[in-house]
Amino acid sequence: MGLLIGVAAMQWTTWNAAGQIDPEKRALFEMGYNQPLQGASPMAGYAYLYLNEPNFVRTNLTLRLAIAPVYLDSELGFRHLLGPNTDLGIGLAGGGFADDYYEFERGQYVPEQSFQGHAAEVSASVYHLFNPEQRIPLNGILRVQEHYSFYDREESTLDSFELPKDHSTVSVRTGLRWGGRAPVLRPDLAFEFSGWYEAQFRTPSGPYGFSDDRNVESFSDLYWGRALLIYTFESTKQSLSLSVTGGSSTHADRLDAYRPGGDLPLASEYPLVLPGYFYQELSARSFVALTAEYSIPLDPDARWTLSPIATAAKVNYLPGLEQSGRFNSGAGVSLGYRSKTGMWQTFLSYGYGFEAIRSSGRGGQSLALMCQVDLEARPGRAAEPGTAPAQPPTVFRFLRALF
């Protein structure tokens, strides 16, 4: 789930608005890094610039860009092109390390069976708003996408390990989303009920690994959904976040299985957070997870916050990657700071995974650092929900500065 991008030894992920064309003007820099305190694992994190420009060139065009040093994800949205409530989006993406794969077996990172993956992608999406007169939007999507993957060895990949064949994946996704969550680190308010289905067709498919001991499936389908509530109490400035996420699949393989683990909230559109675990430590054909977080301000202006978090998940493992016990849980706490203008915020989190398998027994620990810079925040004024920016930088200005 989501798009995993490597930046040098790190990884980043772009947020993908899968329910509608983003109507808000945004210029956000996002960074996150997850560091385990026990055991070896690949470095995990993301760093990217997210730009969304409504009224791009024309009033009915919206340009979305997610830019990292070695990857670009983009979509040009045509509002009302197919009707008063129906939009069309054309997407292009590509670059290095998007399809990296890291093998974990019963809590142990296996670099000899891990490898690099690069990608190129084109997509067409139809977005339809079913209830234009209501405050909480109900959006539907139909997306057709072709994603080409090609693989390289890591330095640690064994010569006797055969890589998967380079292949094309044609996918068809459809779904409904009522409400939604903005692509920001810690929104003050969010509500969502969503359900999704995606069919994937790969050509060529076939065996790989050691003596063909694993397989890239020619067809797999995935279905998942989420219920989410984030609410900030105006009187106390305390914030509550609750989410239930679940998914299942048929004919899933290592390359498209659900991968719970870690604490990177913007690592995918639907992050599968498990504090204290390695990032993407588990491989699941189905799962259900409950996450709860409560943010408590430590000063009158609520610039400093303390946020305990807990996740409990029941996992049906992918065949070949099973481990004892289907129940996995983690808890942690984060210390956060938001600047007076709201331009930047950062969080340092500690997580403990109760059922994570380590060499010393059960129990894993990790640290996570997350930062967001909002380039459209109004200087000299504290950020408030719904506040419009004054003359924010545009995509045009950014591109001129970049090139």
8 A C-beta contact, residue 134 and residue 101: no
Q: Is 375 exposed, middle or buried (0-12, 13-18, 19+ CB in 10 A)?
A: middle
Encoded tokens for 15? 């947020």
Q: Write the pLDDT tens digit of every residue in 333-375.
A: 999 999 999 899 999 999 999 999 999 899 999 999 999 999 9
- CB within 8 A of 39, min separation 6: which ones? 107, 108, 109, 278, 358, 359, 364
Q: Write the pLDDT tens digit of every residue in 216-253.
A: 999 999 999 999 999 999 999 999 999 999 999 999 99
Query: For position 16, what pLDDT does the model report?
Result: 41
Q: Quick check: pTM over 0.75?
A: yes
Q: Average pLDDT, whole number, for the chain? A: 90
CATH number of the domain bearing residue 186: 2.40.160.50
Query: For position 45, what pLDDT does the model report?
Result: 92
Residue 204: is the preceding peptide bond cis (ω within 30°)? yes
* H or E stretch covering 402: helix 395-402
- 359: nearest Cα among 75, 81, 36: 36
> Could you tell me the residue range of the domain that residue 321 belongs to?
3-402
Amino acid found at 127:
Y
The total of structural domains in the chain comes to 1
8 A C-beta contact, residue 313 and residue 276: no
**pLDDT exceeds 90 at position 295:** yes
8 A C-beta contact, residue 279 and residue 44: yes
Query: For position 378, what pLDDT does the model report?
Result: 62
* H or E stretch covering 396: helix 395-402
